[in-house]
Structure 1
């Protein structure tokens, strides 16, 4: 029998790509999403891509009664938890909204999981928990600190997961710390579709390339980097999706038959793992690569540094390779090519009307 996974936030950018990877790896999926920053169209396209109707439940992770109904009617192996708000600027303006959704919502989810004795979870964390790194590359033992409420909400959830693991050793809690997800599915059918003006660099570049936005603002050109612009670890979203499959596979392998033939469980506890390429790319390098791939000029202007931005940030992904057998495979050119295919095929994102 296939293992069934609840994917909270599964209609979103990373969630939808992970649903494809899960299906291809033989998992059954149930998507739970309130569509606050995603689209029903993504679910429809996801169903076409995997060749079967995706079971979709429109709901909020703060809705404990609906969650109970979902857990009562399915036998889940575990949960991949993407559901959460993710715009740094908005989190500064509306911190209570972020703590209510990202922290309180996760507590509600964990409480319902405990009621139904489902204790395997892969949490969508973030490299923002590292703040301004003291040294590079960043590994999982690096000091954690945050410069905004979004990052703080992720770090708070990590602390909750750590405390939960200490209180009850039957929990298996993997926190995947993403670096900078970009790219789209090679089909061009699903991709990143931000509300209003994009907060992230790649969708902003692609919307300039397609003519939707006039020019790119690059915040800071005086950092101590290769060309003065910020350096980040960009990872293709389909590589990231495979990282979640590898994490679930790892949890699966913790149950092995012992000599008597019964299952013996090795508790994972709280396990943080970076997902990145281990390589840094500057903003100008990414702009140049995208222009080369798309054949479009990307007008840009330099602007003042933004508060809280850091010069460089890239991962040590050794732990993911050692423990999960996972490493990023796709290049910056792949990321740009797939993003351009998605953007040019869907200039208005999922808004097809």
Structure 2
């Protein structure tokens, strides 16, 4: 199959590209601004999601789309709301329009896998949270992702599209030996602090807040599986998590595996953030036969640590 990957130069996007190539798929990488970090030989299109003409060209003759392009970083999700809406909602609408036009041209329904976020759950009433739980949209980032989910759902209901929405909890670990370089995420931030390449790790509250972590390689595998499971007129929604752990657990894992002290700086708890956010992944395990390849938090931290060491080693 020929698959368009939007946001292909990003952390998760590049992992999706690698997973698709490993399965023998032909990949078209849609990237924005920064130089594309994609394998040699992959067709690359540099365009913005608001560029209708470029999107029409990008989706032409494709068999599916993995849509990962957008603004992330939930803690920045309240500023500026208009920017989140323009990229995550309007950009998704433009992509859907391009896919619908391609369907009219070819007569083939579209095939879409969308990267959403666990942040749409906000403060769920029960844990672990499953896909039937109500969405509680606590910031502009969550609202923009939920709005994009709804756009996809309405387009799917017309029969012109088959879609899967993956609500990713916290992707972590290295992708093809490359460490996660986003220091807004706790595992790469903690490893960087342990190596003294970043300031002390800031902990909001007492460190008992729990999040669910999943290896980026397993996220990519879920995208590949979903592409082959989609059917016109149906939107499937799946949680994607694997290893619940507290902030303290992450700190202890980093110290144990690196053998280095981890300097900390404590800050007040952020009232807006959930105390626990744990994924019920029964649906994706049952319907897509997806299982994580890692056994626990240590696997993700060790993977990040080894990748950082390789990146810093003299050449």
Superposition TM-score tier, normalisation by shorter sequence: over 0.9
Please give the alpha-carbon distance, in whole angstroms, between the structure 2 residues aligned to 1:321 and 1:208.
35
Match of 1:335 among 275, 288, 300: 300
SS in 2 for 1:233: strand
Aligned Cα RMSD in Å? 1.8
Give the aligned partner of residue 69 of structure 2: 83
Give the aligned partner of residue 106 of structure 2: none
Please give the alpha-carbon distance, in whole angstroms, between the structure 2 residues aligned to 1:56 and 1:294.
37
Give the aligned partner of residue 223 of structure 2: 244
The one-character-per-residue Cα deviations of 1:268-320 (angstroms, maximum 9, x if unpaired) are 5111111111x420111111112222222111122101241111111110100
Equivalent pairs, count: 308
Please give the alpha-carbon distance, in whole angstroms, between the structure 2 residues aligned to 1:135 and 1:91.
24
Give the aligned partner of residue 33 of structure 1: 31
Please give the alpha-carbon distance, in whole angstroms, between the structure 1 residues aligned to 2:204 and 2:141.
20
Unaligned runs of 5+ in 1: 222-227, 255-266, 349-353
* Matching of residue 92 in structure 1 with residue 83 in structure 2: no
Give the aligned partner of residue 202 of structure 2: 217
Match of 1:234 among 205, 213, 222: 213
Unaligned runs of 5+ in 2: 104-108
Match of 2:111 among 98, 120, 143: 120
* Matching of residue 269 in structure 1 with residue 234 in structure 2: yes
Give the aligned partner of residue 285 of structure 2: 321
The one-character-per-residue Cα deviations of 1:130-173 (angstroms, maximum 9, x if unpaired) are 1101001110100111111011100011111122222x123101
Please give the alpha-carbon distance, in whole angstroms, between the structure 1 residues aligned to 2:197 and 2:20.
33
Match of 1:57 among 45, 60, 63: 45
Please give the alpha-carbon distance, in whole angstroms, between the structure 2 residues aligned to 1:191 and 1:31.
20
Contact 1:210–1:344, Cα closer than 8 Å, also in 2 = no
- The runs of at least 4 aligned residues of structure 1 exceeding 6 Å deviation read none
SS in 2 for 1:136: coil
Contact 2:100–2:160, Cα closer than 8 Å, also in 1 = no
Q: Return the offset for 1:343.
A: 2.1
Q: How does 1:183-198 map to 2 (within 5 A)?
A: 183-185=173-175, 187-188=176-177, 190-194=178-182, 198=183
Give the aligned partner of residue 258 of structure 1: none
Match of 1:163 among 132, 147, 154: 154
Give the aligned partner of residue 8 of structure 1: 6
